[in-house]
């Protein structure tokens, strides 16, 4: 094919390549392209972790980095414990919080700023009722029950009042009271939501934080020493959104004021710049602009339509995933989308996961439900055979579509949907094989994620929670296997003590994108529960029957979510090997349209994704 002939029209070749992502190009995707790596810079920024309910017995579980035995604590700078008539000055521990890229001081600042905002709101709007107000990733929020909608003008007034509170340098004082005393105080100020929160607190004593002598809140802390530690010029109230009380659409609709707080103006400016860049990269906007996918409310919220260009990118992702799994010793399987209710009762989903499942449907006098997970189906395949120790490990992989009920207000583009495809795999192995199998999954995870430019990971090893199944020896051996695999891999990790699933320990992996945001993707979980529930067995070398260990693992998490992450990471500028259109041919006038189409057809025949953009309007 000679496209360089003198008689050929001028052609414009549009190569869509990502300028900032590191990508390994699979040679089979585009004919004639060699394997290579594209290298680029990634902007490192910080991200916080969301706490648990601010009011109550505590926030998140302790975490220790790598093999460290000490657990970092976030403490109040000054703590007062008040019990009965006696006041004692002390420096006792208040609460354990997860470590974070962001400083412990910054997390205290955000928590305190949320309280200062609530205090300012109740100064200005006397009828406003407070609910909860935690620090979150990049900032904080507080929910209020107030009859009139907060306006942009109101936010400016609130911010101005906050500055007044900050400038007064009010002391933050922690007080411990009895449950009865807390109830009496809450009733006296007519805060009904606080009463409900008080009832949810299981442990005594109850902790209250005071800002000066004017305002207080149920809270577990921690906070800065006084409001003067806050930098008013590094605080911004960003938006107001609706939020149901406790996330239940049957309960009151509240107004949630979001804000952000930093230690310096420079940090705030960097955050605002990143926020603008994130908005530019929003996969929902790019998906519409590039005609990649749609979610149509007329059909159903959270249900994704893949348009031709988006479907092509998905096809390339799935083909690469399947080929690599086959090359690494996995077999592919396919399973149904629905099953009888009995299966979900055996698996435990009926008892423990029902609220996340779609309603049952009746078919020929039997009840069925859409699957929320693939694992019981893989177990059904295992039970259909007979295996000896020589057959293990067995590795089965599936791109299986699952369905989960999400409230309409919680769905968000491709990141949270009702129907999605998990890149699931399950491994059935012997106890001595566990470490090597986990290491194999880690290697495969790195190989796949680095192909798409993700090489910066944050890893958590989550250990046995208080409520769990399985005996101590199984847990200890499994946790040791996960730890050994991570150390053999050479990856730094944090230990989330007590953060594992009830059925086994797990490894979770977050990736960092081009603008420094972190995304939860990969998970590796050891399961003692389902093999027991389904009575899975294999024949040992002594001709006895024993229970295999089961590993759940997903690398992308879901195709939909990963596609959204990719779109935002590349800002829609997909690398050449992943672009839905690799070459676009533009004829300079209508008389060259046939030739342009002929060139595009010949390129397609060679495996290149080309298209001719035919003129719709002649330019004179």
Token reading at 86: 């006696």
The C-alpha atoms of residue 299 and residue 291 are separated, in whole angstroms, by 18
Torsion angle of C-alpha atoms 483, 488, 490, 491, degrees rounded to 10: -30
User: How close are the terminal C-alpha atoms of the chain, in Å?
Assistant: 31
Instruction: Name 144's Cβ contacts closer than 8 Å, sequence gap at least 6.
Output: 118, 121, 125, 128, 129, 130, 131, 150, 254, 255, 256, 257
The C-alpha atoms of residue 106 and residue 139 are separated, in whole angstroms, by 9
Q: Exposed, middle or buried, 38 (CB in 10 Å: 0-12/13-18/19+)?
A: middle
Give per-residue burial for 112-127: e unless 16+ CB within 10 Å, then b.
bbbbbbbbbbbbebee
Backbone angles phi, psi at 145, to 5 degrees: -100, 110
Cβ(346)–Cβ(309) under 8 Å?
A: no
The C-alpha atoms of residue 291 and residue 298 are separated, in whole angstroms, by 18
Closest by Cα among 527, 578, 529 to 550: 527
Residue 129: enclosing H or E segment and its boundaries?
Answer: strand 129-130
List the catalytic residues: 375, 404, 422, 424, 426, 506, 552
The C-alpha atoms of residue 79 and residue 77 are separated, in whole angstroms, by 7
Query: CA of 614: how far to CAs of 114, 328, 583, 593, 619, in Å?
Result: 56, 44, 14, 6, 13
**Strand ranges inside 404-562, DSSP E:** 419-429, 457-462, 494-496, 506-512, 518-527, 538-539, 545-546, 549-554
């Amino acid at each position: 094919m000679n496209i360089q002939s003198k008689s050929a029209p001028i052609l414009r070749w549009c190569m869509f390549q990502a300028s900032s992502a590191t990508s390994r190009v699979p040679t089979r995707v585009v004919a004639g392209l060699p394997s290579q790596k594209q290298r680029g810079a990634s902007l490192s920024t910080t991200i916080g972790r969301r706490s648990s309910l601010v009011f109550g017995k505590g926030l998140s579980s302790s975490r220790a980095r790598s093999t460290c035995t000490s657990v970092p604590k976030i403490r109040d700078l000054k703590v007062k414990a008040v019990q009965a008539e006696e006041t004692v000055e002390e420096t006792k521990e208040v609460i354990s919080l997860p470590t974070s890229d962001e400083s412990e001081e910054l997390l205290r600042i955000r928590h305190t700023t949320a309280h200062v905002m609530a205090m300012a709101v109740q100064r200005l709007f006397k009828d406003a009722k407070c609910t909860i107000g935690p620090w979150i990733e990049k900032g904080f929020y507080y929910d209020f029950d107030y009859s009139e909608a907060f306006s942009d003008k109101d936010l400016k007034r609130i911010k101005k009042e906050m500055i007044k509170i900050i400038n007064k340098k009010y002391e933050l004082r922690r007080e411990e009271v009895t449950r009865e005393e807390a109830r009496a105080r809450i009733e006296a100020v007519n805060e009904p939501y606080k009463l409900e929160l008080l009832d949810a607190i299981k442990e005594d004593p109850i902790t209250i934080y005071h800002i000066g002598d004017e305002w207080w809140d149920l809270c577990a802390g921690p906070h800065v020493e006084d409001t003067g530690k806050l930098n008013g010029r590094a605080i911004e109230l960003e938006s107001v959104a609706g939020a149901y009380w406790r996330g239940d659409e049957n309960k009151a609709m509240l107004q949630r004021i979001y804000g952000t707080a930093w230690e310096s103006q420079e940090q705030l400016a960097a955050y605002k710049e990143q926020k603008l860049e994130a908005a530019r990269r929003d996969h929902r906007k790019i998906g519409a602009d590039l005609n990649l996918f749609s979610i149509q409310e007329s059909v159903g919220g959270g249900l994704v339509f893949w348009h031709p260009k988006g479907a092509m990118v998905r096809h390339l992702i799935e083909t690469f995933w399947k080929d690599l799994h086959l090359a690494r010793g996995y077999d592919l399987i396919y399973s149904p989308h629905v099953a009888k209710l009995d299966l979900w009762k055996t698996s435990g989903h009926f008892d423990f996961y029902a609220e996340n499942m779609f309603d049952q449907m009746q078919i020929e006098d039997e009840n069925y439900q859409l699957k929320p997970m693939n694992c019981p189906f893989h177990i059904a395949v295992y039970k259909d055979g007979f295996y000896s120790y020589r057959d293990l490990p067995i590795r089965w992989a599936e791109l299986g579509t699952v369905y989960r009920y999400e409230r309409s207000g919680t769905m968000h583009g491709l990141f949270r949907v009702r129907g999605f495809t998990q890149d699931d795999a399950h491994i059935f192995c012997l106890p001595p094989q566990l470490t090597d199998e986990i290491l194999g999954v880690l290697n495969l995870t790195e190989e796949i994620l680095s192909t798409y430019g993700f090489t910066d990971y944050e890893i958590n090893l989550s250990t046995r929670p208080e409520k769990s199944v399985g005996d101590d020896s199984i847990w200890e051996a499994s946790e040791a296997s996960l730890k050994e695999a991570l150390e053999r891999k050479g990856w730094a990790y944090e230990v989330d003590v007590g953060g594992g699933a009830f059925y086994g320990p797990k490894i979770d992996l977050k990736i960092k994108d081009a603008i420094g945001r972190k995304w939860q993707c990969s998970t590796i979980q050891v399961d003692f529960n389902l093999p027991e529930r389904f009575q899975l067995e294999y024949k040992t070398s002594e001709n006895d029957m024993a229970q295999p260990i089961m590993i759940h693992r997903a690398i992308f998490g879901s195709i939909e979510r990963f596609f959204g992450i990719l779109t935002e990471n590349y800002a829609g500028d997909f690398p050449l090997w992943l672009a839905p259109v690799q070459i676009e041919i533009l004829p300079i006038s209508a008389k060259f349209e046939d030739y342009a189409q002929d060139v595009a057809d010949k390129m397609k025949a060679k495996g290149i994704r080309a298209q001719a953009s035919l003129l719709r309007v002649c330019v004179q």
